[in-house]
Amino acid sequence: MKILVLGGSLFVGRHIVEAALAGGHEVSIFNRGVNQPDLFTNVEKLRGDRDGDLESLKGRRWDAVIDVSAYFPRIARATADLLKDSVDHYTFISTVAVYNGEGAGPDGLLDENATLATIEDDTVEARTLAAYGPLKTACERTLEEAMPGRVLSIRPGILVGPEDYTDRMNYWPRRIAQGGEVLAPGRPDRPVQFIDARDLAAWTIRMVEARKTGIYNASGPKDHWTMQRFLEACREVTGSDATFTWLSEEFLNRELFEKEQLSPMNSLLLVTEDLNHFNTISSEKAYADGLTLRPLSESIRDTFEWDKVSTSRRMTAGIPAEKEAELLTLWKSTVNV
């Protein structure tokens, strides 16, 4: 197949290109050439900008397009209008942030029919957590209107793995490898869900090959991991002697998120009530259509190994060591430990 990837140089897009090449497909990538322009010597590189410079896409034809870079409906509409007569199939990488947390099934999980988050004015182009999900919802709708019956919208959960510049998972094995007393967020039995970007990428290519359409959640696993299981797996992978001290959600919300203005998305903390739905996603439809997940330990190990050779990067997530120590001391004085 001839596949066009809109993006393709960072994290998820990079893994999708690699999965497509591994599948023997002919790949073109369209981006500004700003991030890692020398990456992929064996793909066609089309330069341009989703916001107003689509010239290099004109007069071309592909079997399928995979869009990992549309955040705003206006951008999605412009690209779809240009490509609708040039591609047979359009895949949009959306997000489980499209859900507002309501409409769960009897099992307490949110499937593809759960209530969606909306925004009063979807022309507002704000890169905020509050706007992110609703604007992705609007992008999904815009693409389906432009190419009815030809769109596959995939809603992944939190994405982790090598090349993850957000450092949401990376922080934990790096911190736990240092040993000592580690601040652990919330309840030990709190469910956590995420998906290795490489698993998402491989499955996405299989879905494109099968010309699948419609909406699919893609998170994992079927039997939820807990935060305790995740942290213990980090300890096992890194061979650490770290111990965990669990700080309550209420305490962290007050002392960390409110006072320090730290995002609850930071390093998989996700202990605020309005983000609980990120960890209550049903992906049964995707599993039935072939989504598979690698072992948790493999994702942690590969991410940790990648992070170790990328230490020149400034860690963008996590809790600074001095703040972690301060919070642990304050917690112990509060609960009289």
pLDDT digits (tens, 9 = 90+) for 269-293: 887 777 888 999 999 999 999 999 9
Q: Which domains does the chain have, with CATH numbers?
A: 161-193+222-276+295-337 (3.90.25.10)
How distant, in Å, are the alpha carbons of 2, 138, 160 from that of 269? 40, 27, 14
Residue 337 has pLDDT above 80, yes or no: no
The Cα 35–Cα 15 span in angstroms is 15
Helix, strand, or coil (residue 160):
strand
DSSP H stretches of helix in 23-128:
73-83
- Confidence bin at 189 (pLDDT 50/70/90): very high
pLDDT digits (tens, 9 = 90+) for 310-321: 766 677 889 999
The Cα 107–Cα 115 span in angstroms is 15
The position carrying tokens 């997940």 is 293
The dihedral sign for the CA sequence 39, 45, 47, 50:
negative
Taking each helix axis as running N to C, give the angle between helix 11-22 and helix 197-209, from 0 to 180 degrees, rounded to the nearest 10: 50
DSSP state of 53: B
- Confidence bin at 5 (pLDDT 50/70/90): very high
**What per-residue confidence (pLDDT) applies to 311?**
60
Residue 90 has pLDDT above 90, yes or no: yes
